[in-house]
Structure 1
Amino acid sequence: MSAGRRTVLVTGASTGIGHATAKHLGASGFDVRAGVRKPADAERLEREPGVTPVTIDVTDTDSIAAAAATLPDELYGLVNNAGVAVNAPVEYVPLDELRRQLEVNLVGQVAVTQAVLGRVRAAQGRVLFVTSVGGRIALPLFAPYAASKFGLEAVADAMRRETRDQGIEVIVIQPGGTATPIWDRGAATADAMRAEMPPEAGQRYGRMMEILQEEAVKAAKGKAGAVPPEYVAKKIGRALTAEKPKIRYPSRDARVAIGLQRLLGDRAFDWIVARPVLSYG
């Protein structure tokens, strides 16, 4: 199936996977509406062939409605990609930060989907949810992020079953380790939260936080096995153009990790996941 100037909305297109996806789809012949929050990000994307920036804040219903009003009556694809990462121990994560995590990564995706689903239905198109290996595996300190991605997996599964007779394809993209700025920003947020935690938090979780933060920074820089965002963008392109798309498109490391957890069972997998951070200090 060719792009054929079909229109696709990509949220979270300022950086990372969303930015790479907007560029890749635009170069492939799609009419891409790239969702951004800042004028500077819009200016960068305006130079890309086939890409039109659209200002949208997925946590603001008025912003979503205004963005939806700029779209054509038939929208072939929606790529729900906007996201943030909040990482902290469950015991100490600030509830406002937890709410922000869920508002952006989960509630915001549903809000955008609700706003444009009629247009997708008119085009007999596709809705893609960019989840994560973290939507199937919850790592230590990643409870807020994993909760949002587990929730998004559930939304996608339910919606796929709800719309199966409406000509709409609902597809999950499951990246594993990907080199994007979300991890740098997440590390900065974690630093700020850590400064507000009581002394005993450092005694209980300090070394764990340091180690996982180091790994997150490595991932953002393309180290520790992280793939470039263009790798995920190509999977999104395949999901939009395949005659019979798959339900899920996992990255290679996501497929391995999810399969390993299923094979080993929870207790053995807990030991494997926790050991690198508990064996220090």
Structure 2
Amino acid sequence: MSTREAVLVTGASTGIGRAIVERLRTDGVRVFAAVRDLSTVDEHPLVTAVRLDVTSVDEARAAATTVTEALGDARLRGVVNNAGVAVGGPLEFLDLDEMRRQLEVNVVGQLAVTQAFLPLLRERGPDDPRIVFTSSIGGRVAAPYIGPYAASKHALNGMAESLRRELLPWGFSVSVLMPATVSTPIWDKGVVQVDEVVAGMPPRAVELYGEAIESMRGIAAGANDAGIPASVVADAAHHALFSSRPKAEYLVGREAKMMATVSSALPYRTFDKLVLREMRKS
């Protein structure tokens, strides 16, 4: 593979995004690492940092212009929409502005970036340009107390499915990556966020949901050790970008595959009870 191939990766500063950048550059692919803070991108001959807050349409368009000018004689193989945030807490007491923020980053922002780069993919892409979204098994199996995050990933999956069929006449492939628990710094942030959620809850919410939220704190604290390496997701992203037969959906890791299978096989009442029982163990 030559440096005539280039890929844009959003949310490239940490976790899955950083792992995808490392996987691509190791394979000789030129990478445009889109981040809010340029200082978070390590210097490398094949990596170009691009400033991008996905919630800003203007920054998305400016990033597309920057990439266009920097491509030289390279072609843009694809875009990996990886940026995202996770909002949690009981839906009964959720601040609606937090729900709006969740959807703005994880859904609307992904579309803004895709819209900004589609003209470039049409003009400077290969015959089969690729668009990849980092989703989650949470987009298929919605766990309690992460309703906003699950809602955003369900919406992202639906948007990607529509986009895949809309762009098919022009030879595009659109894929979603659906891992379960991944060992990334997001879980360290998750513990802090649980504390922030509890601090902002009214007494009645703590009375009703305090025990369950403590369980979520335990899950977040242990998830970094229990998750699959981010490199496994990066391998799936590489396949989605360069395989001759990319998949529409990638269930990444044993946990994601197991959850998808069990949730489909069991009656929903049985599965719901199983989920709550597993939460109480944490």
Match of 2:221 among 210, 214, 217: 217
1:260 maps to 262
Which segment drifts farther, 180-189 or 96-105?
A: 180-189
The answer as to 2:154 corresponding to 1:150 is yes
Which amino acid in the other structure matches residue 31 of structure 2? V
Q: Which residue of 2 aligns with 1:22?
A: 21
Contact 1:183 1:217 in 2 (8 A): yes
Which residue of structure 2 aligns with residue 51 of structure 1? 47
Does the aligned pair in 1 maintain the 2:38–2:50 contact within 8 Å? no
Deviations 1:189-217 (A, max 9, x none): 23112112111211211111111122112
* Cα distance in 1 between the residues matched to 2:140 and 2:191: 22
- Spell out, residue by residue over 1:139-185, the C-alpha distance to the aligned partner (whole angstroms, 9 max, x if none): 01010000000000001100111111111110111111101112222
SS in 2 for 1:137: coil
Post-superposition offset of 1:244: 1.2
Structure 2 residue 195 is matched with structure 1 residue 191: yes
Per-residue CA distance 1:5-59 (angstroms, 9 max, x = gap): 31100000010000110111011111100011113213xx22x341111110000
Which residue of structure 1 aligns with residue 76 of structure 2? 75
* Residues 74-223 of structure 1 aligned to structure 2 (within 5 Å): 74-122=75-123, 123=125, 124=127, 125-219=129-223, 221=224, 223=225
Paired with 1:246 and 1:3, the residues of 2 have a C-alpha distance of 23
Task: Name structure 1 gaps, 5 residues minimum.
Answer: none
Shift of 1:76: 1.2
Aligned to 1:277: 279
Q: Distance in 2 between matches of 1:78 and 1:3?
A: 17
SS at match of 1:174: strand
Corresponding residue number in structure 1 for 2:252:
251
1:65-117 deviation digits (Å, cap 9, x = unpaired): 11110113742110000011111000111111111111111110000000001
Runs of 4+ residues deviating >4 angstroms: none
Counterpart secondary structure, 2:170: coil
1:238 corresponds to which letter in structure 2? H
Alpha-carbon distance in structure 1 between the residues aligned to 2:281 and 2:205: 18
1:245: how far off? 1.0
2-side partners of 1:279 and 1:233: how far apart? 31
Distance 2:281 2:130 in 1: 45
Matched with 1:31 is: 30
Aligned to 1:41: 40
Count of residues in correspondence between the two structures: 273
Distance 2:15 2:211 in 1: 28
Indicate the SS of the match to 2:91.
coil
Does the CA-based 8 Å contact 1:13-1:35 persist in structure 2?
yes
Structure 2 CA distance for aligned equivalents of residues 4 and 127 of structure 1 = 19
Q: Matched residue of 2:131: which SS? A: strand
Unaligned runs of 5+ in 2: none
- Give 1:279 deviation, angstroms: 7.2
**Residues 128 and 173, structure 1, Cα contact 8 Å, conserved in 2:** yes
Alpha-carbon distance in 1 for matches of 2:98, 2:105: 11
Distance 1:279 1:229 in 2: 26
Change (3 A) 1:101 1:3: farther
Segment drifting more, 243-252 vs 149-158: 243-252
Task: Tell me how far apart the structure 1 counterparts of residues 53 and 154 of structure 2 sit (CA, whole Å).
Answer: 22
Please report the TM-score for the alignment, with normalisation by the length of structure 1: 0.93
Q: Supply the AA of the counterpart residue of 1:21.
A: I
RMSD: 1.6
State, as a whole percentage, how many aligned pairs show the same letter: 44
SS of aligned partner of 1:75: strand
TM-score, length-scaled by structure 2: 0.92
* Mapped contact 1:12–1:82 kept (Cα < 8 A): yes
Q: Is this contact kept in 2: 1:8–1:31, CA < 8 A?
A: yes
